[in-house]
Amino acid sequence: MADPVVFAAEATPSSTAGITEQRPARWALMAVAFIFLGVFLLLPLMLVFMEAFKKGVGYYVSTLGERDTLSAIRLTLLVAAISVPLNVVFGVAMAWAIAKYEFKGKAFLTTLVDLPFSVSPVISGLVYVLLFGAQSLLGPWLKANGIEILFAVPGIVLATIFVTFPFVARELIPLMEAQGTRDEEAAISLGASGWQTFWYVTLPNVKWGLLYGVLLCNARAMGEFGAVSVVSGHIRGQTNTMPLHVEILYNDYNATGAFAVASLLAGLALVTLALKSLLEMRYGAEIAATRGH
């Protein structure tokens, strides 16, 4: 047998050299990444804020204080406040069913979860028009009973739920599948009930994934344009969400107003990203521990 020390001495320098690029190649790759991000992401984002504050802070504040704008902000918050919690419940239930049980049609269900991502948001909206519109089967009945869904808040909420459904479920399914059912089996063998198992074992195991899902779901719920646009009817002060209001203001040649509202949405995106990074920094080790196993 050869002396193992010799092997160790040889292995160390060669292993690092093998995976390191030449210096110019490294610089070129980094330059491409930074230029791309700068031109396509950072620059537009800066323009949004520059445009918003073009006529000064006073104008910015007064634009946001307009009645229709405030109502759009309120509606957006309301829609998010309804659809995000519902999607948390749906998402957890869906992920639980897919990850922890074996049943026929599971693969189909998994594919179905992705449907809102794969169809155009316009279609997502049109689906509800076809379902609840005046010409639909349900239309006359809804009208007779005085239930307003289309061109009203319920329609907007439904469309938002449809579009944002996958965020929580998709974040949780791979996580729960990787974790398997051992922990749950252990909890039940120790005498825990189904609810206790869920609260004490399953939920803590997926809490970071769930939080990610909620953040992304919320960002999309507030920012959704296409599907909501189809079902909303664009009634100012009533069925306009923030993204819709941005478009209306822009079409009114009120660019500064449009960008002011847009800057709020952009701010939301930044806050979401910051929160996500903060979580990763603060709880990185714990997140890694509960994710991998």
Partner 1 sequence: MQVRVANVRKEFDTFPALHEVSLEVRSGELIALLGPSGSGKTTLLRLIAGLEQPTTGRIFFGDEDASAKSIRERNVGFVFQHYALFRHMTVADNIGFGLKVRPSETRPPAAAIRQRASELLDLVQLTGLEKRYPAQLSGGQRQRVALARALAIEPKVLLLDEPFGALDAQVRRDLRRWLREIHEATGHTTVFVTHDQEEALELADRVVVMSQGRIEQVGTADEVYDNPNSPFVYGFIGDSSSLPIKVEDDQVWLADRPLGLSAPGLPAGPGTLFFRPHDIELLDGCSGCLAGTVAASRRVAGTRRVELEIGGQRERVEIELPVDHPAAQKSRVAFRPRKWKVFPQSALQEK
Interface with partner 1 (CB under 8 A): 182-183, 185-193, 196, 200-201, 204-205, 286, 289-290, 293
101 burial (CB, 10 Å; 0-12 / 13-18 / 19+) is exposed
Which residue number, 41 or 190, has a Cβ lying nearer to partner 1? 190
222's CB contacts (< 8 A; 6+ apart) are 76, 77, 79, 80, 241, 242, 265, 268
Residues 6+ apart with CB under 8 A from 276: 212, 215
Output 69 or 205, the one with its CB closest to partner 1. 205
**Closer Cβ to partner 1, 117 or 199, answer by number:** 199
Could you tell me which of 253, 250, 249, 256 has the C-alpha nearest to residue 54?
A: 256
Task: Please give the Cα distance from 60 to 66 (Å, whole number).
Answer: 10
DSSP annotation of 42: I
Give the three-class secondary structure for 196: helix
* Closest to partner 1 by CB, 45 or 287: 287
The DSSP symbol for 137 reads: S
- State in angstroms the smallest separation of the CB of 196 from partner 1: 5
Tell me how far, at minimum, the Cβ of 172 lies from partner 1, in Å: 16
The CA-atom distances, in angstroms, between 91 and each of 57, 79, 226 are 41, 17, 22
275 contact partners, CB below 8 Å, separation of at least 6: 215
Give the nearer residue to partner 1 in terms of CB position, either 54 or 293.
Answer: 293
Which residues are CB-contacts of 59 (< 8 A; sequence separation ≥ 6)?
256
Extended strands (E) in 61-141: none
Residue with smaller CB distance to partner 1, 16 or 189: 189
- For the CB of residue 205, give the shortest distance to partner 1 in the complex, in Å: 7
Q: How far is the CB of 126 from partner 1 (least distance, A)?
A: 42
Taking the least distance from each CB to partner 1, the nearer of 52 and 206 is 206
Q: Cβ of residue 189: shortest distance to partner 1, in angstroms?
A: 4
- Cβ at position 96, least distance to partner 1 in Å: 17
Report in angstroms how near the CB of residue 203 gets to partner 1 at its nearest: 10
